[in-house]
Amino acid sequence: MVSFVTARPAPQAAGTVCSAVPVGRKFLNTHTKKQTDMDPSEVEFLAEKEMVKIIPNFSLDKVFLIGGDLGPFNPGLPIDVPVWLALNLKQRQKCRIIPPEWMDVEKLEEMRDLERKEDMFTPVPSPYYMELTKLLLNHASDNIPKADEIRTLVKDIWDTRIAKLRLSADSFISQQEAYAKLDNLTLMEINTIRAFLLDTLNCMYKLRSNVQ
């Protein structure tokens, strides 16, 4: 029989999952943490609510959880479950994970090329693409064909987007604009730059106001 974890472990503050550590991280850490800050692990926690298809190898009736009912689980039959449960089952070898549709070398290559070509941010396949790639590839790389290529491709997309983000932040500051509008940013990307950008702007404001 399968026993479920009924409580989902909340993210540890120390756990950094995202390798793309924000540039201003050190700078940021020396300051007191603000309300607006969001740790990468917290973003990841949110990403774990995304649904993913698994093929269970056990049989279980519906389970009733606070977040909603799951199941019934039929062996061999694909079913949608949240990522946290999928990973938990996978670690106990109770299922195979079917990668999301976009997690496919061809589709990602197309996306990467588009991302490189466009000046603006292109729509991403999933609002948690980075987190999901990390999570699934770390825990279920045996269920994902061409895992290494996918890892590289997603990293490429991420790098391109972050570069764009920095560039736009740069032009935003250099042109002394009052506001900027950025579409198609994911939560992780916003959080990567937010703390640094806000602090920097505050600093600059201070410096500028001192000058005047």
111 within 8 A of 157, measured Cβ to Cβ:
yes
CA distance 113 to 157: 9
Which class for 111: exposed (0-12), middle (13-18), buried (19 or more C-beta within 10 A)? Answer: buried
Shortest approach of another protein to residue 117 CB, angstroms?
29
Q: What is the DSSP letter of 54?
A: E
Positions in 151-210 near another protein (CB under 8 A) = none
Q: What is the DSSP letter of 82?
A: E
112 within 8 A of 161, measured Cβ to Cβ:
no
Q: Select the residue interacting with another protein from 5, 77, 163, 201 (CB under 8 A).
A: 77
Q: Which is nearer to another protein, 87 or 89 (CB)?
A: 89
Site string for another protein, 105-144 (x = CB under 8 A): ----------------------------------------
Show the tokens assigned to 133.
């790639």
Shortest approach of another protein to residue 48 CB, angstroms?
22
87 within 8 A of 143, measured Cβ to Cβ:
no
Segment interacting with another protein (CB under 8 A) among 14-22, 56-64, 125-133, 201-209: 56-64
Asked whether position 51 contacts another protein by CB under 8 A, the answer is: no
Asked whether position 61 contacts another protein by CB under 8 A, the answer is: no
**Site residues (vs another protein, CB under 8 A):** 53, 55, 57-59, 74-78, 94, 96, 98, 145
